[in-house]
Amino acid sequence: MSQATLEIRRISGHAGSVPGAGLRREFEVCKLIDTTTCIGCKACEVACLEWNGLTFSETTFNNSYQTMPETQWNYWNLIKFNEHERDDGTLQLLMRKDQCMHCEEPGCLAACPADGAIVQYVNGIVDFQQDHCIGCGYCMTGCPFNIPKFSPTARKVFKCTLCVDRVTQGLEPACIKSCPTGCLHFGTKPEMKALAETRAAQLRQESGFAHAGVYDPAGIAGTHVIYVLHDATNPEAYGGLPNDPRIPWTVKLWKTPLKWIGNLAIVAGLVGVVGHYLRFGPKLPPEEEERP
């Protein structure tokens, strides 16, 4: 891994093509989270705060081990704790590390109007560039995972960067580095996908989790953070992991057909009034009588 992984593939709010896109042969990175071996120690939460130098914030006690209800602008990595009652009446404590999923087709980037405020590198990392962010919060509407969060002090939006600064130096993200059980892995997308499938098969065949599987949702063309779940048929049980995440259809409607229909209509309106004037000319009032 090198600086070359910072080749940009997509730019938000950008007129024209992406400079240099598709010139080089590149690989895609991926984080694998095996929820079945997570012990909920929150080392990844601390490592994230430490590496990124984030300010400390109040925790919220809500009758669970969970640090706070959801990720915050200065808290990008949060383990979600959920007590799940299985069909046989037994309880299962589900722990899922929640953070940006680094979608292959990012809804935040699609919704963003600011040139270059969100970029997607060819390695798959979706990164916010706060110096170009205008603080509109459209990314929060485009995201199907409730990840981008608005900072009331900076008036900009922040989220997990997948430690892009570490990855470009050949290091794994801080959360991966800190995990004591090895439930977090980092590598190329094909490698991680294969490892996840192997683990899911093991869970199905040897551990009695008949519905174990890999979460790499197709509605957004896959993600660069994937999960192994005990029950891949019910991701909602893991603290609201969407079953079929997609970019909201109103965002798609607004950004593609409506934009072109609207632009054509505006141009047609301008051409129409100019054409009308050339063809019919002004409506002139009768010559005014001489003023006394």
Partner 1 sequence: MSASAVLPDGRICRYSLRERVVHWIAGISYLYLLLTGLAFWSPWLFWLATLFGGGTVSRELHPWAGLVFVIAVGFMYGLWANQMHTTQTDREFWRALPHYVRNEDEEVPPADRFNGGQKVLFWGFFWCGIFLLLSGLILWFPPLIPWSLRYFRYAAVIIHPVAALLTIGLFIIHVYMGTALERGSCHSMVRGDVSAGWARKFHPAWYDRLMRAPH
Residue numbers of the site for partner 1 (CB under 8 A)? 13-15, 70, 111, 113-115, 132-138, 140-141, 146, 149-150, 152, 155, 248-251, 253-254, 258-259, 262-263, 265-266, 269-270, 273, 276-277, 280-289, 291-292
Smallest distance from partner 1 to CB 113, Å:
4
Residues 6 or more apart from 277 whose CB is under 8 A from it? none
25, HSE (Cβ side, Cα atoms, 13 Å): 0
Residue 28 or 98 with smaller CB distance to partner 1: 98
Minimal distance in Å, beta carbon 141 to partner 1? 4
Q: Which runs of consecutive H residues, i.e. helices, occur in 36-151? A: 43-52, 107-111, 138-142
- Residue 179: DSSP 8-state: -
Q: How far is the CB of 227 from partner 1 (least distance, A)?
A: 19
Taking a C-beta distance cutoff of 8 angstroms, is the pair 148, 15 a contact? no
220, 144 Cβ separation under 8 angstroms: yes
| CB of 73 vs partner 1, minimal distance in Å | 9
Determine the residue type at 10. Answer: R
* Strands 184-188 and 213-215, sheet pairing: unpaired
d(CA 123, CA 1): 10
Whose Cβ is closer to partner 1: residue 50's or residue 115's?
115
Nearer to partner 1, 25 or 291 (CB): 291
Q: How far is the CB of 223 from partner 1 (least distance, A)?
A: 19
Nearest to 119 by CA among 161, 91, 57, 66: 161
Closest among 61, 57, 41 to 49, alpha carbons compared = 57
Nearer to partner 1, 13 or 187 (CB): 13
Which strand ranges, in their side-by-side order, compose the sheet holding 118-121?
8-11, 118-121, 126-128
Q: Nearest distance from residue 136's CB to partner 1, in Å?
A: 5
User: Judged by CB, which is closer to partner 1: 180, or 275?
Assistant: 275
Least Å distance, CB 156 to partner 1, is: 8
Q: Shortest distance, CB of residue 82 to partner 1, whole angstroms? A: 16
- Give whichever of 88 and 289 is closer to partner 1, judged by the CB atom: 289
The torsion angles phi and psi of 151, rounded to 5 degrees, stand at -95, 115
Residue closer to partner 1 (CB basis): 89 or 152:
152
Virtual torsion, Cα 271, 274, 276, 282, nearest 10 deg: 160
Nearer to partner 1, 187 or 242 (CB): 242
Give the Cα separation of 81 and 96 in Å (integer). 7
- Three-state secondary structure call for residue 236: helix
